[in-house]
Structure 1
Amino acid sequence: MENEQDNAPKRGLKNRHIQIIAIAGTIGTGLFLGAGDSIHKTGPTILLVYLIIGTIMYLLLRAIGEMLYQDTDQHSFLNFVTRYVGHKAGYFTQWTYWLVVIFMAMAELTAVGTYLQLWLPNVPTWVTEPVILVILVLLNTLNAKFFGETEFWFGIIKVAAIFGIILTAIIMLFGQFHYNANFQGDHIAGTVSLTNIFKDFHFAPHGLNNFFAAFQLVMFAFVGMEFIGMTAAETLDPQKTLKKAINQIPIRILFFYIGALLAIMAILNWREIPAGQSPFVMVFQLIGVKWAANIINFVVLTSAGSALNSALFSTSRNLYSLSNTMGGNATKPFTKLSKNGIPLNALLFTALLIFITPFISLIPAVSNAFIFITSVATNLFIVVYVMTLITYLKYRKSKDYKADGFKVPAPKVFIPIALVAFILIFVSLFFFKDTLIPAIGTVVWILVFGLISWMKKDHHLENKA
């Protein structure tokens, strides 16, 4: 027993760490970089899309929270798949999740390279991206407490950015601020007003096709929220902090997402927001405050860096856990910890895979590296989410079910709704050019790796957790 405790990642996150990580975890690159694309596609109706996705993600988090609440000794909510659905399903889901966080990290690294172009327009992203990756890998070699401290301050910066954009919108609204500026060669003028949001409103101004396409972009803005389940094993009081963090998610969604989007569309006429640009940066460039645009670019850069940092932390520990419970001789090197309790080999191998990110844009079939990578990540996340909800339904029928625990509200109604919603989003990806190849790739992964998982013998898949 003593050896098992020594050979486990050290708990080093405090309550303030987990709360800020939970808050900041709901603010991702999908909002800062993807908001321009999603607003461009469907206008103010994007608020409805965010509410729909936010609701089903909250239900997912409640399901994860209920299972973790009754057994906080688990280092990952994914361990429940093995326990309640079976070893083969657990093997498939846990390795899929490890892969999906790799793609998530790739997307965040792509965003970092995009943001740095504002300051280093002559330096190619294949130069800047590896440098940032090396820096964050070095930070992750320290300890869990240092990771928590880094994420705490990264999170503070992201939260401050949202407060800043909302406060800016309120001041401009009351002052009836008028802007007249050039943006990337286009002359744009207007007055900050709430009428910018709903003037000449159409439910799907660019067609239903674009409305449904927005779901994938918004979905990526929310993926990773379940990271709260991966940090449960790292907290000093997991039951209390987990419950508090999850219960506050609806308020955070309303404020950080809906609030920020309302602020942006009040400042700018949504029809003038170009796809592929961060509206957060654009807002301050248009009103002529050049230094503020640089600050916002720094904020969104740290946001992407924060998400990449979290992905490195999560996926290295996931690989460590999988190597201990479901790996063979090939994964044995990943079971070793450094003197600081860091799964160093797992971290370095993860970084090596993420390192291929700069080369994805060189593939002829990939017209937009960010959209391609986020599509792959979103597809695989949906697979994991569906498996998690199926696991939850199995848990409710098990002897472990805790009737007086942290329960999902009306689970017989809301969990099936969430399941159907995730499946519909996945199916929709086959109808759009940018997401078709990733969607087909996901089906191939499900069939091939699903078959490999099914052929594994149960005694090779025993979960020691």
Structure 2
Amino acid sequence: MSSATRPGSTDVDPVGEPDGLRRSLKNRHIQLIALGGAIGTGLFYGSSQSISMAGPAILLAYLLGGAVIFLIVRALGEMSVHTPVSGAFSHYAYRNWGPFAGFFSGWNYWFNYIAVSMAELVVVGTYVNFWLPQVPLWVSSAVFLALVTAVNLISVKAFGEFEFWFAIIKVAAIVAMILLGMAIIVFGWGNGGNATGIGNLWEHGGFFPNGAWGLATAMVVVLFSFGGVELVGITAGEAHDPQRSIPKAINQVVWRILLFYVGAIFVMLAIYPWNQLDGQTSPFVSIFDRLGIAGAAHILNVVVLTAAVSAYNSGLYSNGRMLYSLAQQDNAPRVFLRLNRAGSPWVAVLASSAVTALTVVLNYLFPGKVFGYVISVALVAGILNWAMIVITQLKFRRRLGPMAERLTFRMPLHPVSNYLVLVALAAVLVLMTFIPDYRPAVLVVGPVWIVLLAVAYRIKARRQPRLR
């Protein structure tokens, strides 16, 4: 057995030779990258949509969704600790499943985060307009695109520090909201001294006001909110001491995200009847306004702008590393292997940034209409990514055989948990077809994208017969 297949080995096979990327990300960077990647517009604004679907039962939806995501990142973590390489699951799919799986997984993840990045850049323009309404959306998108691209070209350490402090701002805002909200619930601060209690969780149609169907459809929005946790696997190739930092990050980040999401939404629903959230204003604004904090809207706007820029920063980082990994597999042009003096895959970063720049054009042509489309597409691509991770981990275990017993960080309840996750993901795709805004992404964009990748691979295979 080669060093690449020894359980616990940190060596990589020829596809992932030690590659010149710098192991400059510390444990604090990795934890905040994973935490920050999953805390963004899905919580700050998207929560209103999911609450309108499920009512107070949305708390249960987040717990169920969190359990699914936890199993997905544990499956990825098992492979990342065994073989910590940049590109993570594309490399693992290539090594354990086959050339097409590596090709599909890598390009689909890149496509996923192109859509996510475009969505975040669209939202950035909206936030800037709060202070500068005369600035066109496309101008704001262009400015932040250039800024974040520059950060990613400096060094991975610069990226890590940038993301660390941006994530800190998001986390601090959520913690403040939970604490201040609890003060309203228990002591009545900002509410004339009248404690609200938690009666709103069942006094307006019950805990399940829209029944099981409301809970089920809300899972669609909930899973999108959790997207980004898998970034912890992408950092493995540049993590310092990945055998310790990756397991610690995965185990701590998931429960922290659940605490923040469930805690924040619990406070919202306890203070306000769920049916009074209009879906247009962030629930966070309502909390701060209720407390009478001066400049509450400005404070919130800083936070949500930070969240959007942070999410785009993480997306560009992961896209650059994914193109780098695809080039190592000969699944992308070799030019993407070029590194600058700081160890950043600068060609891959610039190429990803250039494609994301389509946001600027779309914002110019269709202001105010881009966000919804790209979000639904991102969710479909994200579900495909998660399914690929779970299936790849099954094949990873099969390849190791009895040697899998030596793994130091293992997927819980394997393989039953793998199949439960796949069923849950398939159910969400079906549910998306019942939601008008999401239906085109499932029935049109997703199938077309899969066919395009299959055709592209066949063309490539004909030019490289060894891949057949």
- Work out whether the TM-score is over 0.5: yes
* 1:422 and 2:418 matched: no
Following superposition, the deviation at residue 348 of structure 1 comes to 1.6
CA contact (8 A) 2:39 2:225 kept: yes
* 1:399 and 2:390 matched: no
In structure 2, C-alpha distance between the alignment counterparts of 1:420 and 1:20, rounded to whole Å: 30
Provide the residue aligned with 1:128 in structure 2.
Answer: 140
Provide the residue aligned with 2:6 in structure 1.
Answer: none
CA contact (8 A) 2:89 2:106 kept: no
* 1:48 and 2:49 matched: no
Following superposition, the deviation at residue 210 of structure 1 comes to 4.7
Aligned AA (1:353): V
Provide the residue aligned with 1:137 in structure 2.
Answer: 149
Following superposition, the deviation at residue 206 of structure 1 comes to 4.6
Provide the residue aligned with 1:220 in structure 2.
Answer: 224
Picking from 256, 265, 268, the partner of 2:269 is: 265
Following superposition, the deviation at residue 75 of structure 1 comes to 4.3
Provide the residue aligned with 2:281 in structure 1.
Answer: 277
Cα RMSD for the two superposed structures: 2.6
Aligned partner of residue 399 in structure 1, secondary structure: helix
Aligned partner of residue 106 in structure 2, secondary structure: helix
In structure 2, C-alpha distance between the alignment counterparts of 1:241 and 1:263, rounded to whole Å: 32
Aligned partner of residue 217 in structure 1, secondary structure: helix
* 1:18 and 2:30 matched: yes
In structure 2, C-alpha distance between the alignment counterparts of 1:397 and 1:281, rounded to whole Å: 50
* Aligned 1:161-310 pairs, distance under 5 A: 161-177=173-189, 179=191, 192-202=196-206, 204-206=208-210, 210-310=214-314
Following superposition, the deviation at residue 6 of structure 1 comes to 8.6
Q: Percent identity?
A: 37
Provide the residue aligned with 2:352 in structure 1.
Answer: 350
Aligned partner of residue 263 in structure 2, secondary structure: helix
In structure 1, C-alpha distance between the alignment counterparts of 2:175 and 2:329, rounded to whole Å: 43
In structure 2, C-alpha distance between the alignment counterparts of 1:126 and 1:210, rounded to whole Å: 36
* 1:82 and 2:94 matched: yes
Alpha-carbon displacement from aligned partner over 1:191-223 (angstroms, at most 9, x marks no partner):
633112222343553566654432222111111
Label 1:217 to 1:446 Cα distance change in 2 as closer, same or farther (>3 A): same
Aligned AA (1:123): V
Provide the residue aligned with 2:317 in structure 1.
Answer: 313
CA contact (8 A) 1:325 1:462 kept: no
In structure 2, C-alpha distance between the alignment counterparts of 1:115 and 1:282, rounded to whole Å: 17
Provide the residue aligned with 2:388 in structure 1.
Answer: 387
CA contact (8 A) 2:122 2:359 kept: yes
CA contact (8 A) 2:152 2:317 kept: yes
In structure 1, C-alpha distance between the alignment counterparts of 2:433 and 2:362, rounded to whole Å: 21
CA contact (8 A) 1:33 1:111 kept: no
In structure 2, C-alpha distance between the alignment counterparts of 1:357 and 1:73, rounded to whole Å: 30
Provide the residue aligned with 2:448 in structure 1.
Answer: 444
In structure 1, C-alpha distance between the alignment counterparts of 2:32 and 2:282, rounded to whole Å: 23
Provide the residue aligned with 2:334 in structure 1.
Answer: 332
Normalising by structure 2, report the TM-score.
0.89
Aligned partner of residue 381 in structure 1, secondary structure: helix
Label 1:86 to 1:46 Cα distance change in 2 as closer, same or farther (>3 A): same
CA contact (8 A) 1:268 1:283 kept: no
Unaligned runs of 5+ in 2: 1-11
Aligned AA (2:347): N
In structure 2, C-alpha distance between the alignment counterparts of 1:312 and 1:23, rounded to whole Å: 16
CA contact (8 A) 1:317 1:343 kept: yes
CA contact (8 A) 1:81 1:89 kept: yes
Normalising by structure 1, report the TM-score.
0.89
Judge which range, 55-64 or 454-463, deviates more. Answer: 454-463
Label 1:21 to 1:346 Cα distance change in 2 as closer, same or farther (>3 A): same
Judge which range, 375-384 or 31-40, deviates more. Answer: 31-40
In structure 2, C-alpha distance between the alignment counterparts of 1:262 and 1:137, rounded to whole Å: 37
Picking from 101, 107, 110, the partner of 1:98 is: 110
Provide the residue aligned with 1:183 in structure 2.
Answer: none
Judge which range, 243-252 or 42-51, deviates more. Answer: 243-252
In structure 1, C-alpha distance between the alignment counterparts of 2:82 and 2:252, rounded to whole Å: 20
Unaligned runs of 5+ in 1: 181-189
Provide the residue aligned with 1:411 in structure 2.
Answer: 414
CA contact (8 A) 2:56 2:208 kept: no
Provide the residue aligned with 2:3 in structure 1.
Answer: none
Following superposition, the deviation at residue 444 of structure 1 comes to 1.5
Provide the residue aligned with 2:435 in structure 1.
Answer: 432
Report the number of matched residues.
449
CA contact (8 A) 1:325 1:461 kept: no
Judge which range, 281-290 or 296-305, deviates more. Answer: 281-290
CA contact (8 A) 1:88 1:461 kept: no
Picking from 152, 155, 160, the partner of 1:148 is: 160
Aligned AA (2:351): F
In structure 1, C-alpha distance between the alignment counterparts of 2:406 and 2:374, rounded to whole Å: 41
Alpha-carbon displacement from aligned partner over 1:13-57 (angstroms, at most 9, x marks no partner):
112212222332332221112112211222111111111111111
Following superposition, the deviation at residue 459 of structure 1 comes to 8.4
* 1:370 and 2:360 matched: no
CA contact (8 A) 1:194 1:266 kept: yes
CA contact (8 A) 2:138 2:364 kept: no
Alpha-carbon displacement from aligned partner over 1:273-332 (angstroms, at most 9, x marks no partner):
11133211232234432423311221121111111101111101211221232246xx23
CA contact (8 A) 1:178 1:191 kept: no
Aligned AA (2:126): T
CA contact (8 A) 2:190 2:292 kept: no
In structure 1, C-alpha distance between the alignment counterparts of 2:465 and 2:364, rounded to whole Å: 38
CA contact (8 A) 1:216 1:375 kept: no
Picking from 23, 29, 32, the partner of 2:44 is: 32
